[in-house]
Amino acid sequence: MEKTKLLYEGKAKKIWNTQDKNFLISEFKDDLTALNGEKKSSEKGKGALNNKISTELFKLLNDKGIPTHFIKKLDDNNMLHKACEVILIEVIVRNIATGSLTRTLNIKDGTVLPFTLVEFDYKDDDLGDPKLNDQHCLILNLVHHQDELDELRRMARKINNILKPYFFEKGLKLVDFKLEFGRDLNGNIILIDELSPDNCRFWDIESGESFDKDRFRQGKGGIKVAYENVLNRILS
């Protein structure tokens, strides 16, 4: 399968058409962005690490009954996956309070939440990805009906129930993460995009050290080493 025409370029990936309309190729970039794109940089090898990490996690979720767009890793930076209609809702899953949640609601950083919090953000860079409630989603026609929002929440919690203990066994707390979903050519809702330290927060169980994009947001450095650490734990 080969790339034909560039379909879309985002902050972390380029999406390419292929000779087959049923399949697309994601090219993982080395670019780093934060603060709604205001902070930018690049880390050589970051894209390849995210591709490898996402590959392993998509395989895990597929094996556990979560439908995803993943087909196979083509090479270091490229992944083959199903074509689908993107649902313009970012699904945020939170186990521990940090980041925007602590700033918005004045919850102490590091507070373990009494239950898994699932939030919706509008996938729109120009608007700064604002928070959505169910009525917003329906007014904006982001979903066809309420049942689809319920399905997004159900799938998000199921994914969390798989990944949270999985990473705990690897010595990492899964603090929070962002999911994206789409509709395949049959109209089924499936998990898409990526699962990597770019859109997940990982804290070491013993030290509390972060192994994710917060290192870039906070100017700590060591991005590649941190991402390699996550990959090595997954492969161990």
Instruction: Assess whether pLDDT exceeds 90 at residue 34.
Output: no
Answer for the pair 120, 150: CB distance below 8 angstroms, yes or no.
Answer: no
DSSP run (H or E) holding 115: strand 112-122
What are the start and end residues of each CATH 3.30.470.20 domain in the chain? Answer: 85-222
Instruction: Assess whether pLDDT exceeds 90 at residue 38.
Output: no
Architecture (CATH level 2) of domain 85-222: 2-Layer Sandwich (3.30)
Give pLDDT tens digits for 48-60: 999 999 999 999 9
The percentage of the chain sitting over the pLDDT mark of 70, rounded to a whole number, equals 99
Give the three-state DSSP class for 134: helix
pTM assigned to the model: 0.96
What's the CATH number for 3-82?
Answer: 3.30.200.20
Q: Furthest-apart CA pair in the chain: how many Å?
A: 51
Instruction: Assess whether pLDDT exceeds 80 at residue 147.
Output: yes
What are the start and end residues of each CATH 3.30.200.20 domain in the chain? Answer: 3-82
pLDDT of amino acid 220: 92
